């Protein structure tokens, strides 16, 4: 099983500032990495796939980067509607998720 | 509208059986694999297993193999997750999810990330 580790657990960012979320895989997953956002009481929503491709309807302020074992999700200018939990998921092997990073407004 | 419509919340006792469902609407249900994902209270996401509705062949994550059964009925565009004997540790929200597809080649291939999620079904198992 490929273990996904996300950091930090909680990220507090002021509106308009940059938010950087990290995801590390225990083994290389190439670019088979997706990011999801989950708001309280809602199902997760696909944000990024292929490590860097935004899903339909996702604003350009969200960008993904990385390959192999190190990945980053960047929110260039945090908006209030961006708060929530963000999960990374590898799909190189049987799918596994990270434990999530909670993004909140400072 | 393209969506996965899941059945409502359930409250069961340990040892009871249960089937929850997920109906795909607005798209060709048989063309997309469906997986089930568990979210225990306050915890992260765990992939349980997947099914190809066109052939009804399925795979399970080892922790769930033998404890749950995933099935699909293409005539009603519905996938199901069932337990024959529930345990208290089965208390969780269960999401059905649609696998993405890559149609850039001569045929479409299923990909193991999820482009459509149901709203989730809360299952509570308590004596």
pLDDT one-digit tens code per residue, A11-66: 999 999 999 999 999 999 999 999 999 998 898 999 999 999 999 999 999 999 99
Check if B46 contacts A (Cβ < 8 Å). yes
Check if A45 contacts B (Cβ < 8 Å). yes
Please indicate whether, in this complex, the C-beta atoms of B113 and A34 are within 8 angstroms of each other: yes
Say what the pLDDT of residue B56 is. 85
Please indicate whether, in this complex, the C-beta atoms of B47 and A100 are within 8 angstroms of each other: no
Cα B97 from Cα B60, distance rounded (Å): 15
| Nearest chain B residue to A57, by CA | B115
Share of chain B above pLDDT 90, in %: 94
Say what the pLDDT of residue A62 is. 98
User: Which positions ≥6 away from B83 have C-beta within 8 Å?
Assistant: B17, B18, B19, B67, B68, B69, B90
Residues B4-36 have pLDDT tens digits of: 999 999 999 999 999 999 999 999 999 999 999
Cα A74 from Cα A63, distance rounded (Å): 5
Which letter does DSSP use for residue B40 in this model? -
In the predicted structure, residue B74 carries a pLDDT above the cut 90:
yes
Residues of chain A neighbouring B100 (CB-CB closer than 8 A): 46, 49
Check if A6 contacts B (Cβ < 8 Å). no
In the predicted structure, residue A73 carries a pLDDT above the cut 90:
yes
Residues B91-114 have pLDDT tens digits of: 999 999 999 999 988 989 999 999
| Nearest chain B residue to A36, by CA | B114
């Amino acid at each position: 099983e490929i273990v996904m580790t996300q950091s930090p657990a909680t990220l507090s960012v002021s509106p308009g500032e940059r938010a950087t979320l990290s995801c590390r895989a225990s083994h290389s997953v190439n670019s088979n990495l997706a990011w999801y956002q989950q708001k309280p009481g809602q199902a997760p929503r696909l944000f990024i796939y292929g490590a860097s491709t935004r899903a339909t309807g996702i604003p350009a302020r969200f960008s993904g980067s990385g390959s192999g074992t190190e990945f980053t999700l960047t929110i260039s200018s945090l908006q209030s509607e961006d708060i929530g939990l963000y999960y990374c998921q590898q799909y190189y092997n049987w799918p596994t998720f990270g434990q999530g990073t909670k993004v909140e407004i400072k | 509208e393209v969506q996965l419509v899941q059945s409502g919340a359930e409250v069961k006792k340990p040892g009871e059986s249960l089937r929850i469902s997920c109906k795909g609407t607005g798209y060709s249900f048989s063309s997309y694999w469906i997986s089930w994902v568990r979210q225990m209270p306050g915890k992260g996401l765990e992939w349980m297993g997947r099914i190809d509705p066109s052939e009804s062949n399925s795979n399970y994550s080892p922790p769930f193999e033998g404890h749950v059964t995933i099935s699909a009925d293409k005539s009603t565009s519905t996938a199901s997750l069932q337990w024959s004997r529930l345990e208290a540790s089965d208390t969780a929200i269960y999401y059905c999810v649609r696998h993405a597809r890559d149609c850039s080649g001569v045929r479409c291939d299923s990909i193991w990330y999820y482009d459509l999620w149901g709203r989730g079904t809360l299952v509570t198992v308590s004596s």
